Amino acid sequence: MKLNNNLKIIIAAVLLTVAVYALFQTGQVKYDGYVGVVALVGGVIALYMGYRFLMAYFGRNKLDVEPVKYAELRSYEADTASGTIKLFFELPEEGHVKLNITDLNGEPLKTIIDDKLAAGNYPVDFNTTELSNGTYFYELRTHNYNNAKKLIVYNA
């Protein structure tokens, strides 16, 4: 059986804790000083790491089903834009994508992308000088994802 590094660390910490405990019990080491503190801290760390490893190993923290992968939308800049803003979206699978700029009521003002795209990462530059100053949303729609994020345009 091949042991991964986490399991090796846990085994070493447990063995160290057991060895220090045995020294305490035989009277060769006293609980005072740095050795006692190191033993207590090492024991707590070993117990915690062992618990985390066992929970992960036996699947208590794992989901029974794999989560659905969705597209992701974000901006490289803050939500206030002047001039060109770089938007970014990621597609986990091929599909039809629509990237719009909408007003506060959700009405599309400008369609940036309306096409079938392959899975991958897509940076998009959008020139905000086409819009008057105000608050807008950039919205990404796919077959299983719909998200809009705020964009405040301030063109001096």
Global confidence as pTM? 0.52
Q: Are residues 88 and 27 in the same domain?
A: no
Q: Are residues 51 and 107 in the same domain?
A: no
Cβ neighbours of 48 (radius 10 Å): 12
12: containing domain: 5-57
Burial (CB < 10 A; 0-12, 13-18, 19+), residue 31, is exposed
Number of domains making up the chain:
2
Distance CA 118, CA 97 (A): 10
Tell the residue number behind the tokens 């077959």, with chain if given: 143
**Contact present, 119 and 92 (Cβ < 8 Å):** yes
pLDDT tens sequence across 14-44 = 777 777 777 777 776 666 666 667 767 777 7
Q: Are residues 99 and 144 in the same domain?
A: yes
pLDDT tens sequence across 50-90 = 777 777 666 554 544 454 455 666 666 666 667 788 888 88
Distance CA 9, CA 29 (A): 24
